[in-house]
Amino acid sequence: MMAGAPPGAEAVCGVVVVDKPAGPTSHDVVDRVRRLFSTRRVGHAGTLDPPATGVLLVGLGRATRILQFLQALPKTYRAVVAFGETTTTQDATGEVVERRFCSFARHDLEAAAAGMVGEISQVPPMVSAVRVHGERLYLAARRGEEVERPARAVTVYGLDVSAFDPEAWEATLLVRCSSGTYVRTLAADLGERLACGAHVRALRRLAVGSLGVGEAVSLERLEAMDAARRQDAVLPMGVALRDFHAVTVSGDELEAVGHGRALEEPMAGAGAADAPVPLVDPSGRLVAVYRCRDGRLRPAAVLL
């Protein structure tokens, strides 16, 4: 609890679904939320690049411990892709590297996009926060260095063409993908499939799992709220984890969870192996998140 909080006051805890504006970094958003809620313990799940907008999940207090599970949820994006130009950053912030002639129709674009659905191999862009040999790639990029980086397997669940302008050579794509997917790289690879190159002109994250822009709140709205209304914008941890199947524990099992002990038997409805399993007490309060491993439920985050 920060200095100045009333004695006995409970520290703020939960997740704020922030509608990030273009411009600030994800860390900038965390800093602003930290000041608004007067709490030091704040983090975010899933970085958005400065030009990108949309859903950024910000955890407060003990909820920072569940961000690891939220970060792993699938993401949904709307991307405006400009064809015919490649850039150093794979988006509009970079310098144009090459311009090429475009000569494809919408059905060619849709066919190329459909061919990228499923598990694909993706090389992270140089301007990214991925670590190679212990260093963030963007630091090497600032020095003008090109670092060899291994490809990673990601999954594209859907890549749909929402709009296509053959005069401007721009398309709006709806992307549903696994955590860790770079939409910039997806667009660049799509441009190569169409033999003309491409970059992302605008990117908006529409949802992380089922947590979408419809329930997101802008920083400006948060700043205009009084303390009580601002608190109403904080989702309880159990609600933030609603995409995972929760299991109720009581009696001896609840006591075992309080001591961080594994539960001997996999519980009905616990889900797939290694999937997060929120555990709640009979009142519905989130007490822990476990994972099913080796036939047992093992603690990943105990919140009592």
Residues annotated as catalytic are 49
- 3-class secondary-structure state, position 86: strand
Is residue 26 within 8 A of residue 19, CB to CB? The reply is no
CA 19: distance to chain centroid?
A: 12
Q: Is the dihedral of CA 33, 289, 208, 242 positive or negative?
A: negative
- 3-class secondary-structure state, position 137: helix
Is residue 113 within 8 A of residue 183, CB to CB? The reply is no
Residue by residue, DSSP assigns 227-242 as HHHHHHTSBPHHHHTT
Is residue 207 within 8 A of residue 179, CB to CB? The reply is no
Closest CA to 182 of 271, 258, 121: 121
